[in-house]
Chain A
Amino acid sequence: MALTDQKKTAQLDSGILVVNQSRPTKVNCWSCGAMRAAHFCQECGKVQPPTPVDYFTFFGLPFRLNLEPEKLEGEFYALSRHLHPDINAINSDREQQWSLEKSSQLNDAYRTLKDPITRTEYLLRLQGVQLEEQSKAATEEARRTGKLKKQVVPPDLLEQVFELNMQLEEMRMNKKMGEPDRTLERELQDSKKHVQDRYNGLVEELHAAWNEWDALIDRAEQGGSVLEDDRIAVRDKMVDVLNRRNYLRNLLRDIDEVLEN
């Protein structure tokens, strides 16, 4: 993770909070020349050509993580109705093509934003987070300095995941031999509860991080300044929660699989 020491101050536009993303400036409607709204010309209502925008911008939303699902859904259906290729079948070829492309963009955007986890992952991607790249960079750093690589998940979690996997393996063996171990089964059921609690606790942690993030966006939108360090700190908090979540989710899946079979 390239943590920068520089205390850079984000500019007034909240769009700057997203690395390498700039919001499209208003352009003229291709048909009547008036300034256009996001997808249709405000003057003549014609569909506008698709632009490669991020999903938040597609919906005209700020880069906030708390959003009202009903509102998003309403917006999705409203846009779907207007962008549907059938509606545009009587229009010119290029308008049909645009509505088709925009419909597909709309579906992707909605699918990504409606789910809290994919929404968070998407925002992190916009923020330039690439888990695998980070891991490689940390390995390189460890080689260079001779220091131990900092593991992205806490050691006690790795320990727990490892131990539970050992138990799961034993349980699978026992079952294969036709000698299920009832004590082990009870232990696993207890562990499952523990893992489930830890997993549920992550939702709260994630929401807390969302609130911090949204506060930064709000501050920027109101013309305030946002320190680069603050942005990175909240971003990394979310990365951390999602990393731990990955492990716990896999673990729960594996425990269920063993207990049910």
Chain B
Amino acid sequence: MAYSDKVLDHYSNPRNVGSLDKNSAEVGTGLVGAPECGDVMKLQIKVNPATNIIEDAKFKTFGCGSAIASSSLATEWVKGKTVDEALTIRNTDIVKELSLPPVKIHCSVLAEDAIRAAIGDWKKKNGQHSQAQAAVQPAPVEQRA
């Protein structure tokens, strides 16, 4: 299967690979997996407590090129956004940006899950109950073509 140029770019030149101090109160960690393919993805965010802006993001993914590209793109996108803005990122946005084929849509779902899990972890650490995003309009998950 041919990967799109953008996937190849993120795959061979992934952004923000690495880790942040998971014990820091400013850091949220999300570890998620896709049982369909056995991929694991860790995504971490560092949030400025005064502004709620995500100042840094790191990831490490063990999986296929699309999973790596999806998480690489996710870290790029969340940086500079507030926590609530980051929660509006949809797997469909990732699919579109990377031109993922239907069989790789689960990779984009995994990346969205990772963002959500990292933010959830950060909120938990900071005593916020994750009700804020309930107001966000749900969008349908991209279906197979």
Contacts and interface: CB of A to CB of B under 8 A. Distances in A.
Interface stretch (A37-45, A47-55, A103-111, A137-145): A137-145
Contact of A140 (B31, B134, B140): B140
18 contacts: A132-B106, A136-B109, A136-B141, A136-B143, A139-B109, A139-B112, A140-B138, A143-B116, A149-B113, A151-B32, A153-B35, A158-B31, A161-B40, A244-B35, A246-B35, A246-B36, A247-B35, A247-B40
Contact of B131 (A132, A146, A247): A146
Contact of B132 (A137, A146, A151, A162): A146
A152 B34 CA distance: 8
Contact of B138 (A131, A144, A155): A144
Contacts of A148: 116-117, 120, 130
B141 A250 contact: no
A147 B130 contact: yes
B113 A131 contact: no
A158 to B, nearest CB: 5
Contact of B38 (A137, A139, A246): A246
Contact of B40 (A145, A146, A162): A162
Nearest to B144: A132
B133 interface: yes
How big is the A interface, by class?
20 to 34
Contacts of A131: 35-36
A205 to B, nearest CB: 16
A135 interface: yes
Interface string B80-91: 000000000001
B65 interface: no
A158 B32 contact: yes
A131 B136 CA distance: 26
A207 interface: no
Interface of B: 31-38, 40, 42, 60, 62, 91, 105-106, 109, 112-113, 116-117, 120, 130-134, 136, 138-141, 143
A144 to B, nearest CB: 5
A165 interface: yes
Interface of A: 131-132, 135-137, 139-140, 142-149, 151-153, 155, 158-159, 161-162, 165-166, 169, 243-244, 246-247, 249-251
B143 to A, nearest CB: 8
B60 to A, nearest CB: 8
A139 B141 contact: yes
A192 to B, nearest CB: 16
A149 B116 contact: yes
Contacts of B139: 143
B34 to A, nearest CB: 7
A135 B31 contact: no
